[in-house]
A and B are shown apart, each in its own frame.
Chain A
Amino acid sequence: AQSVTQLDSQVPVFEEAPVELRCNYSSSVSVYLFWYVQYPNQGLQLLLKYLSGSTLVESINGFEAEFNKSQTSFHLRKPSVHISDTAEYFCAVSENNAGNMLTFGGGTRLMVKP
């Protein structure tokens, strides 16, 4: 069975500083990896995904994540955060043979301070 661990439940950071949100997973088969963002009282929005190919994936708003198979990690990074990035971020894993079922990490609350 797969599992996802987000090591930090909260990450406070000042505006324009870099940030890394950590995600590790365990699985016995190959996986697809996702990062979602959730703003208060809203559903989840896909931020970026790794399905295959290049291990470095990027989003349109400056976030990037790198799939590291040997370390079973998919950490999310942004070189310079904005106040508007304040939200809950969820890492999720889908095993390739699991019918699109997602296993979510516990979430990391990113709090950007002015």
Chain B
Amino acid sequence: GAVVSQHPSRVICKSGTSVKIECRSLDFQATTMFWYRQFPKQSLMLMATSNEGSKATYEQGVEKDKFLINHASLTLSTLTVTSAHPEDSSFYICSAVQGYEQYFGPGTRLTVT
């Protein structure tokens, strides 16, 4: 139980385009999901908290107009990187909360050329 999926696992896009990443809780409902960013050989950096039915809460320094988060249902949150640039290239990981725990997706590798 408690499986979280992400789609796509890898994406390459051109600079200036937008990319949508999906995070799904497959066998449970999650009122809260989190989005993280991870640079090579570094720890996870929390980007935002996604709450079903309400606006996301962004961490300091994260541009909410660039990283659009939508949590339209109890099993799906999406992260859209708008007007992507090479510096947005990173590994994006989501998690979904059940009880006291976060369950993590497998991550999405974004490369912006």
- Residues of chain A with a CB closer than 8 A to B102's CB: 100, 102
For chain B residues 67-98, which have a beta carbon within 8 Å of chain A? 91, 93, 95, 97
Known: A43-B93, A90-B43. A51 touches B100 (CB 8 A): yes
Q: Determine the chain B residues whose CB is within 8 A of the CB of A41 once the complex forms.
A: 91, 107, 109
Q: Is the CB of B106 within 8 A of A46?
A: no
Closest to A32 in B: B100
Interface residue total, chain A, C-beta cutoff 8 A: 22
Q: Please measure, in the bound complex, the distance between the C-alpha atom of A41 and the C-alpha atom of B91, giving whole angstroms.
A: 8
Chain B residues lying within 8 Å of A101, measured Cβ to Cβ, are: 34, 46, 49
How many angstroms from the CA of A44 to the CA of B107 in the assembled complex? 9
Considering the chains assembled together, what is the distance between the CA atoms of A16 and B18 in angstroms?
Answer: 48
Q: Are A44 and B100 in contact (CB under 8 A)?
A: no
Check: B32 CB closer than 8 A to any chain A CB: yes
Cβ of A107: which chain B residues have Cβ within 8 Å of it? 42-43
> B107–A49 contact, CB under 8 A?
no
Tell me the A91-114 residues at the B interface (CB within 8 Å): 94, 99-102, 104-107, 109
Q: Which residues of B line the A interface, CB within 8 A? A: 4, 6, 32, 34, 41-44, 46, 49, 91, 93, 95, 97, 100-107, 109
A contact set with B: CB distance below 8 Å: 32, 34, 36, 41-46, 49, 51, 90, 94, 99-102, 104-107, 109
5 contacts between A and B (CB under 8 A): A41-B91, A41-B107, A44-B93, A46-B103, A100-B97
